[in-house]
Amino acid sequence: MDFFDVVDTRRSVRKYNSTPVPKEVLVKSLEAALLAPNSSNMQPWEFFCVTNADKKAELAAACLSQPSAKTAAALVVAVARRDRWRQVQGQVLEAFERNGVTDPQVLSYYKKLVPLVYSHGPLGVFGLVKKLVVTFQGFFKPVPRGPFSNRAVEMTVVKTTALACQNFMNAVSALGYDSCPMEGFDEVRVKKALAIKGQARVVMVISCGKKDPEGIYGPRMRMPKEQFLHFID
C-alpha cells in the first residue's frame, strides 16, 4: 500500500475475527519498528510479541479485559528501558572502532555526552548539579533544558518507543492486518506476566488481528486541522 493509504486506512480495531496473524507479518512489522528514529540511536526499546493462548489471556486480563485485547490474535507489548543505554553505547563505540570512525566530535558525543544525558548519579544528585550549571549557562546561550532526572530520561525513552510503535502499526496495516494501541492496562500485571524486570516502562500494548465488521466503533473523527497546525511562513 502507498504510505498515505496506510495512514488513511489504519484504524484502532476493538474486535477481531479469528484469523491468525502470520508470524512473517509480525516479524516484518517488528523489524520495521526497530527502524524508527530514536534518541541518540540508543534503541531503548523491547517488544514482546505474544501469540501463546495462555499468556495472551493473562495479558488480556491485564489490559482490563478490553475487547481489543481479548479478541486479538497477537499482543505486542512495547517496553521503554532507560537502563540499557550503556550496553548500546558500548555496541555503538565497538562498531565505530570496527568501521574506523575516528571523528573526535562523533566519538565525544557517544563517550561523553550520552553518559551525561542518561545518568544522574545516586539519588539523582548529579542531575541537580547539571540543572544548576545548565540553567546558569542558559542566561547567556541556548542550552538543552534537560533531561535532569531519571524521570526525564524516562520521557525520552518513552517518546522514542512510541515512534517505533507507530512504525509497527503502520507496517501491520501495510501488510493487510489491523491493530489497536492500548494504554488501558495494569502495568504491574503486564510486567509480571512477561517477567519484565529493571527500570522498564510499558509504553503500549498493541493488539493485532483481522478486523471484525464490528471492530471499528465509528467513522474516524478528527477536529478541525486549524486547531492543531501552525504554519510560520
Residues at the site binding ligand FMN, with contacts judged by CB under 6 A: 11-12, 14, 66, 68, 180-184, 204, 220
Q: How many residues does the chain have?
A: 233
Nearest position to ligand FMN, beta carbon: 184
C-alpha 139: how far from its chain's center?
34
DSSP letter assigned to residue 227 = G
Closer by beta carbon to ligand FMN, 11 or else 70 = 11
Least distance from C-beta 195 to ligand FMN, angstroms?
23
Cβ contact 74:26 at 8 Å: yes
DSSP letter assigned to residue 21 = P
Least distance from C-beta 174 to ligand FMN, angstroms?
15
Least distance from C-beta 99 to ligand FMN, angstroms?
37
Closer by beta carbon to ligand FMN, 81 or else 131 = 81
Closer by beta carbon to ligand FMN, 66 or else 150 = 66
Closer by beta carbon to ligand FMN, 11 or else 55 = 11
Q: If DSSP codes are grouped into helix, strand and coil, which group holds residue 74?
A: strand
Cβ contact 198:218 at 8 Å: no
Closer by beta carbon to ligand FMN, 10 or else 120 = 10
Least distance from C-beta 165 to ligand FMN, angstroms?
8
Least distance from C-beta 13 to ligand FMN, angstroms?
8
User: Hey, what amino acid is at 218?
Assistant: G
209 C-beta neighbours (distance < 10 Å), count: 25
Question: How far is Cα 171 from Cα 101, in angstroms, rounded to an integer?
Answer: 33
115 C-beta neighbours (distance < 10 Å), count: 12
